[in-house]
Amino acid sequence: MTREVNCKVECVNGCILGDDCPHREYAKEAKRFMNDTSLDKMLEMAEAARLKKLTEPPKWVIPDDI
């Protein structure tokens, strides 16, 4: 039986399910990315994302109760 876990809350200090974690596939992908991508490349990607975010038009949220 798999235990329901809110990973965002309960696993902030590391996975509490270990090998039973349903997100192990994503951890492998993340580890592969970290090993295969240089820090300079990661910083370049982050800067590109930041600049894209700055150039996007603002997104307005209009409350329903107006």
Dist. CA 48–CA 43, nearest whole Å: 9
Its domain, for residue 12, covers: 7-54
Residue 64 domain-assigned? no
pLDDT band at 2 (very low <50, low <70, confident <90, very high): low
Dist. CA 58–CA 16, nearest whole Å: 39
User: Do 15 and 21 contact (CB within 8 A), yes or no?
Assistant: yes
Residue 33 domain-assigned? yes
Give the tens place of pLDDT for each residue, 8-30: 888 888 888 888 888 788 878 98
Asked if the model's pLDDT at residue 37 lies above 90, the reply is yes
Average pLDDT over residues 50-58: 92
Say what the pLDDT of residue 40 is: 97
- In single-letter form, the type of residue at position 60 comes to W
Asked if the model's pLDDT at residue 1 lies above 60, the reply is no
Residue 23 domain-assigned? yes
Residue 34 domain-assigned? yes
Residue 47 domain-assigned? yes
Looking at the structure of the chain, the number of domains it has is 1
pTM passes above 0.85 = no
Say what the pLDDT of residue 58 is: 86
Residue 15 domain-assigned? yes
Residue 44 domain-assigned? yes
